[in-house]
Copies of this chain bind each other. A is one copy, B any other.
Amino acid sequence: MEFLVRQSVHARERKTQVPCVQCPLRPLPAFRSFTPEELQFMCYFKSGELTGRYGTTILLEGARSENCYTMLSGWGFRYKMLPDGRRQILNFVLPGDFVGLQASVLNEMQHSVEALTDVVLCVFPRDKLWTLYSDHPSLAFDITWLAAREEMMLDDHLLSIGHRTAIERVAYLTLHLFRRARDVNLNEGESLRLPLTQQHVADTLGMSLVHTNKTLRRLYDRALLSWREKTLKILDLDGLAKLARYDIAASNPRPLI
């Protein structure tokens, strides 16, 4: 399992640059609209922004964090490691995704989060979370909503790794990523810039790097997709969906915390 631990370039925190009322994500149809009161609280809730470069460790397994975060721009991934270095990527973090709930709720992170590109995160201090729960039940419900959504994605992922074949898994993952990226307008038609290496794909799907590469080639040979130079092109959406047995329906609007 060839995997290099990147040095954790330290991230920098700064004061709020983007006030929540001008949030570039919020107008997207993927997110439910907030009431003025909710928006006002979000402005208070957000204490600043955190920027990190590619490779930065945003949250570390075992650590206690004073904050939770929402990805404002960039990509990241959640992962766990086995003592011998085997790495399992649990899920990816896209703009609008909330991370660090575990640290705030269970006191200690059980997984790590790393930046896949340069990232900007909205910072929410943990102690204000109590105010959210006591004064803004609709937002408290939203946080539960997001936790349930994450659980749903993990369920899907588990089904994939447990019972899909290699080619079905890769087909599933590309559709999953395409759908999520499309939700936040990161696609260009049927194309999509993906900052993942094949090693990331392998570690996500529980496959070796070599077999991942060969599986991608088979998908290309079957004219289902092309994934070259960090660009994914969906060539045959229906074919992929049929192969992966995965429905790529548009998702319901979700809250943006």
Binding site for B on A (CB under 8 A): 78, 80, 82-84, 86-88, 90, 101-102, 105-107, 110-111, 130, 133-134, 137-138, 140-141, 143-145, 147-152, 154-159, 161-164, 203-206, 245, 252
Task: Known A105-B148, A144-B147; judge A158-B157 contact (CB<8 A).
Answer: yes
B133→A88 contact, CB < 8 A: no
Protomer copies: 2
Bound state CA distance, A145 and B149, in angstroms?
A: 14
Cβ–Cβ < 8 Å partners of A143 in chain B: 144
Give A14 to B186 CA distance when docked, in angstroms.
51
Quick check: B206 and A152 within 8 Å, CB to CB? no
Please report the C-alpha to C-alpha distance between residue A205 and residue B158 in the assembled complex, in whole angstroms.
Answer: 10
Would you call B155 and A90 a contact (CB within 8 A)? yes
Supplied contacts A80-B155, A151-B154, 12 more A-B pairs, CB within 8 Å? A82-B163, A88-B159, A90-B158, A101-B148, A102-B148, A110-B156, A130-B137, A137-B137, A143-B144, A147-B151, A151-B151, A162-B206
A161 engages B206 (CB within 8 Å): yes
Within 8 Å by CB of A133, from B137, B158, B164, lies B137
A144 touches B140 (CB 8 A): yes
CA distance A144 to B204 in the complex (A): 26
